Amino acid sequence: MEYFAVNHEDPDYCLVHRIQPAVSTSSLVKEEGHRLPKISSNDEYAPLKEVMIGRGEYSYFPAIPLAAAANIVPRKASWELDNFAQTMEKLAIRVYRPEKVDWGNVKIDESKEGEKGRRSGYTSSMMRDGLMVVGETIIESAFSWNCRRHEVELLHGKWLHALAHERDETIKVVRAPKTETVADDRIFDIRQGARWAINNSRIAFDAADFIKLEKGIVVTHKSNTTNQNGIEWVTSHLPHGWRLIVIEPKKSNTSEMHIDATLAPLFPGTALYNPELVDLKELRRHKPMDTWRLLPAPIKQSWAEYPPSFMCHNEHLAMNVLVVDHKTVVTEEQDTEMHNLFESLGMNCIKLPFKHVGCLGGSFHCATVDLRREHGASEERISGDRSLETLSSRGQKVAECRRE
């Protein structure tokens, strides 16, 4: 099958498939009977209470074979995302979905300099790319890709605006900084032989390049979507008492994009790391990872055999799991090596189909934003302790989901 080179500045996108939008589980716009989400998340493993899950319909891609995309990607990915959302609701987790956006018919103001002929986003599925929650602060990405410059506003603008004007002063909404127009943007004007695809000419970062290690600590790295200016800008907006750790990817790793395929905290004192993307010695240089149990993730090269990958190494998405609580993790149903690893740690695996979502660029962690986690219980579990059991009600629901 022939594939074309991807140029993320190229405005020529193709609509790959049209299907009827999925049933919405809840609106984030403040309407009668609905409420805005509560924002509070200090780590990646405390019991999940509220979550945003993306949508697959109406996704756009840089030029790829139309027939392959139409038959494989949006239709089946939308079903997988809807099934994922319904599974989370069965666990008594409040699920939000973003605004429905048909990326092929978005109207943008082309009178603005540099906007004519440009697209405004490519998918509603990858929630983690555009937003991160750190404590009670929610931060919007400053995308390096020009084709995504309007994505967060179209998906989340209404509820972010409403949240910013709530009377709850503990919640802070940080919108992306104003940047140059597309016509003036030179972020992809790089030196021959440069390691990363972007330079440091403006603030650029994807929220998915940042991950919460534990309360007070966020881990990041420079990549093909996040530069030094972006890291410094995020640092300046972290809540009081939080600090940033910057890790160095392997020198052989020049395709790095998004840290949640590199590092996955599971519970206090324990995390997975991707040995193909980062050295264990590099992680050990940084406290508190010098004393953590860091486990190499089993990366199965055949993971991406079908369906064909789009813009990422799908085998690395085996690490891109969503931890529901200190004893429960959502994984792709075919990742048997990961299932065995998690179960050896005393964790329950909720095994769901998700490979078509992987074609859009991510898996369970990428497709979600953990809006609120219940803190306190997770801190009781330390490295090596298998005795703490999940609440009986949730444990029963996990068993029901696994049977289905």
Structure tokens at 316: 């690395």
Question: What is the end-to-end Cα distance of the chain in Å, rounded?
Answer: 35
% the chain with pLDDT above 70 = 72
pLDDT at residue 9, as a whole number: 37
The secondary structure element, H or E, covering residue 151 is helix 151-164
Structure tokens at 178: 């104003």
Nearest by Cα to 38 from 141, 139, 166:
166
pLDDT at residue 360, as a whole number: 84
Quote the strand ranges of 169-234, DSSP E. Answer: 172-174, 210-214, 217-220
Cite the active site residues. 206, 258, 366
- Please tell me the distance from the alpha carbon of residue 268 to that of residue 345, in angstroms, as a whole number: 13
pLDDT at residue 389, as a whole number: 29
Nearest by Cα to 52 from 156, 144, 173:
156
pLDDT at residue 301, as a whole number: 55
Q: Cα 39–43–49 angle (5° rounding)?
A: 45
Residue ranges covered by each domain of the chain: 37-379
Output the tens digit of pLDDT for each of the chain's 404 residues: 222 233 333 333 333 333 333 334 345 554 545 678 889 999 999 999 999 999 988 776 544 444 444 445 677 889 999 999 999 999 999 999 998 888 777 776 655 544 444 556 778 999 999 999 999 999 999 998 887 888 899 999 999 999 998 878 899 999 999 876 655 578 887 777 788 888 999 999 999 999 999 999 999 999 989 999 999 999 999 999 999 999 999 987 776 789 999 999 999 999 999 999 999 999 999 999 999 999 999 987 555 555 555 555 467 888 999 999 999 999 999 999 999 999 999 999 999 999 888 888 899 999 999 999 998 744 443 333 322 223 334 444 544 554 45
Which single residue is written with the structure tokens 């440069």? 194
pLDDT at residue 302, as a whole number: 52
127 touches 260 (CB < 8 A): no
365 touches 264 (CB < 8 A): yes
Structure tokens at 106: 């978005």
> What are the two backbone dihedrals, phi and then psi, of residue 133, each rounded to the nearest 5 degrees?
-110, 125
pLDDT at residue 182, as a whole number: 56
> What are the two backbone dihedrals, phi and then psi, of residue 53, each rounded to the nearest 5 degrees?
-125, 135
CATH superfamily to which 37-379 belongs? L-arginine/glycine Amidinotransferase; Chain A (3.75.10.10)
Distances (CA, A) of 92 to 77, 88, 347: 23, 7, 19
